[in-house]
């Protein structure tokens, strides 16, 4: 009687394509983790660190003929000197509106207005202010890490439901759980790296 062939356990390199990190099941969760990093980058860009950075204006909106409009869409923003940000509206009639938007924001810098352009002079950061900003960076990083962990949790719950409905076998469920953990570790490490880089930038300026 011929011996019956026993299927071998598949290693990571032999997983079916649906159980790999690039499988359709994984893509929505990786996209969300990428978005969490992008959101963190955008938040870091708006932190005033003692030198001119056009991104600190990203969240400031101007009343432009009745429409709330980002400052970078109503004029040219340049950095003529390391600590000076210059805003030149394409329509000089909105200069006052831009000035008011900056004054009422949480930027903490009062612009000078020569009738044609606005200039923002960024003061050097004190040691205490650096520590406050570094703490803020750490908090934003922790919030982003929680978001990534929540994405992992949602993914695992979704995979378990698929297995319960017999849409995937148990071995594929195990592989997907492993893949999403590897992905979580990858994006968490990248997040930590960006927090460290931003903290060093703040403390060294």
Exposed (0-12), middle (13-18) or buried (19+): which is 178, by Cβ within 10 Å?
A: middle
* pTM exceeds cut of 0.85: no
* Count of domains forming the chain: 2
The answer to whether residue 5 is domain-embedded is no
Predicted pLDDT of residue 205: 62
The answer to whether residue 9 is domain-embedded is no
CATH number at residue 189: 1.10.132.20
Same domain, 197 and 133: yes
CA distance 161 to 158: 5
Predicted pLDDT of residue 158: 96
Which residue range is the domain that position 40 belongs to? 17-44+126-204
Predicted pLDDT of residue 142: 97
The answer to whether residue 170 is domain-embedded is yes
Predicted pLDDT of residue 18: 44
CA distance 74 to 56: 16
CATH number at residue 71: 3.30.1360.40
The answer to whether residue 72 is domain-embedded is yes
Last residue of a domain, one of 106, 121, 136: 121
Same domain, 55 and 103: yes
CA distance 137 to 200: 11
Same domain, 24 and 77: no
Same domain, 151 and 196: yes
CB of 57 closer than 8 Å to CB of 71? yes
The CB-based long-range contact list for 59-63 (8 Å cut-off, 24+ gap) reads 59/105, 60/101, 60/102, 60/105, 60/107, 61/101, 62/94, 62/97, 62/98, 62/101, 63/97, 63/101
Same domain, 159 and 92: no
Same domain, 27 and 55: no
Same domain, 193 and 142: yes
Record the tokens describing residue 199, joined without a space: 């903290």
Predicted pLDDT of residue 22: 65
pLDDT tens, residue by residue, 115-171: 999 999 988 888 898 899 999 999 999 999 999 999 999 999 999 999 999 999 999
The CB-based long-range contact list for 164-168 (8 Å cut-off, 24+ gap) reads 168/18, 168/25
Same domain, 177 and 84: no
Same domain, 153 and 87: no
**Positions in the chain whose pLDDT score sits under 50:** 1-19
Predicted pLDDT of residue 92: 92
Same domain, 71 and 108: yes
Record the tokens describing residue 51, joined without a space: 């030198």
In DSSP terms, 87 is beta-bridged to 77, 118
- Pick from 35, 44, 66, 2: which is nearest to 147 by CA? 35
CB of 159 closer than 8 Å to CB of 97? no
Predicted pLDDT of residue 83: 86
Hunting for tokens 């803020």 — which residue is that? Answer: 136
């Amino acid at each position: 009687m011929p011996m019956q062939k026993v299927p071998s356990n598949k290693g990571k390199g032999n997983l079916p394509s649906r159980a790999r990190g690039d499988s359709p099941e994984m893509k929505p969760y990786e996209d969300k983790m990428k978005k969490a990093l992008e959101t963190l980058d955008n938040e870091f860009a708006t932190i005033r660190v003692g030198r001119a950075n056009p991104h600190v204006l990203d969240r400031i909106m101007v009343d432009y003929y009745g429409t709330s409009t980002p400052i970078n869409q109503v004029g040219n923003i340049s950095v003529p000197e390391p600590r000076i940000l210059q805003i030149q509206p394409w329509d000089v009639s909105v200069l006052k509106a831009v000035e008011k938007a900056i004054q009422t924001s949480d930027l903490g810098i009062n612009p000078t207005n020569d009738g044609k352009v606005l200039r923002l002079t960024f003061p050097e950061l004190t040691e205490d202010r650096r520590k406050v900003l570094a703490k803020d960076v750490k908090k934003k990083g922790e919030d982003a890490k929680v978001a990534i962990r929540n994405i992992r949790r949602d993914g695992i719950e979704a995979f378990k439901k698929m297995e319960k409905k017999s849409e995937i076998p148990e071995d594929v469920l195990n592989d997907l759980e492993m893949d999403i953990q590897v992905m979580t570790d990858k994006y968490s490490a990248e997040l930590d790296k960006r927090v460290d880089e931003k903290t060093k930038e703040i403390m060294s300026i």
